[in-house]
Amino acid sequence: MKGKIKRSTTYFSRCELMLWSASALLIAAAHLAFDAGGPLTLAASLIGASAILLNAKGNPIGQLLMIVFSVLYGVISFSFAYYGEMATYLGMTMPMAAFALIAWLKNPYKGKRSEVRASRLGKNEAPLMLLLTACVSAAFYFILRALDTANLAPSTLSVATSFAAAYLTFRRNPWFSFAYALNDAVLIVLWTLASLENARYVSVIVCFAVFLINDVYAFISWLKMERRQREGR
């Protein structure tokens, strides 16, 4: 029993625990300062931060939390008429996270369910991904314009970065976190524009700023994990 407790407390490094704690404190402080969206926004933000940390470890539970986050974020996006964000997360990120969850569970590293085996894209797969991203983004542009989506250009760019991130997540490629970091940057712009009309959305900006830092950490973590796995450690 002692061994099990010790393993559970050392699963996350001190740096990771500090990162999550700082993220949670910033999110909670912003939520309290701007009275933002009630408990739904706070819950979504904390779940999202937790999902990123688990994804940084290659843990499939992170994908399960991403499914929950997508539902909550879709509701929040709907409240500001960001139909692109709502459609992206409910219609693309959520199902892709479900597919990724299955893919990650089917590809454990050395039989460890808590760590997925990293993978590289095939020779012709990167151009295919870029082509699919362009097609999906173009289709969403017209759909979002028809829906009179607020801030159409950055909303469409968010679709592009989200699709690329979701695709790379499903393929278990380390660059998925980099793509999500790009998406975070786009979302910071989107919600900054929203906060100019309603200050309570400043807390969402803080949320995605925290996500950006966490996704950068996850990207670095995955590069190290991939190298370690190639060396068979």
Q: What percent of the chain has pLDDT over 90?
A: 57
* pLDDT band per the 50, 70, 90 thresholds, residue 19: very high
Specify the amino acid at residue 166. A
Above pLDDT 70, what percent of the chain? 94
| pLDDT exceeds 50 at position 2 | no
Q: pLDDT grade, residue 154 (50/70/90)?
A: confident
Q: Which residue from 224, 201, 212, 220 is spatially nearest to 23, judged by alpha carbons?
A: 212
Residues 6 or more apart whose Cβ sits within 8 Å of residue 182? 161, 165
Mean pLDDT on 37-52: 86
pLDDT value at residue 93: 82
∠ CA 27-40-181, rounded to 5°: 50
138 with 157: CB under 8 angstroms?
Answer: no
pTM for the whole structure: 0.88
- How does residue 37 score in pLDDT terms, banded at 50, 70 and 90? low
Q: Predicted confidence band at 36 (pLDDT cuts at 50, 70, 90)?
A: low
| pLDDT band, residue 130 (cuts 50/70/90) | very high
Q: At 174, is the secondary structure helix, strand, or coil? A: coil
Contact present, 154 and 193 (Cβ < 8 Å):
yes
Are 43 and 24 in contact by the 8 Å Cβ rule? The answer is: no
Q: For 60-83, how does the pLDDT look when each residue is reduced to its tens digit (9 = 90+)?
A: 999 999 999 999 988 887 877 777
User: What are the beta bridge partners of residue 108?
Assistant: 116
Q: What is the pLDDT of residue 73?
A: 83
Ranges of each domain in the chain? 15-109+123-230
Measured CA to CA, the distance from residue 64 to residue 74 in angstroms comes to 16
Q: Could you please report the per-residue DSSP string of 82-149?
A: -HHHHHHIIIIIHHHHHHHHHHHHHSEETTEEEEEPP----TTHHHHHHHHHHHHHHHHHHHHHHTT-
Mean pLDDT across 164-190: 94
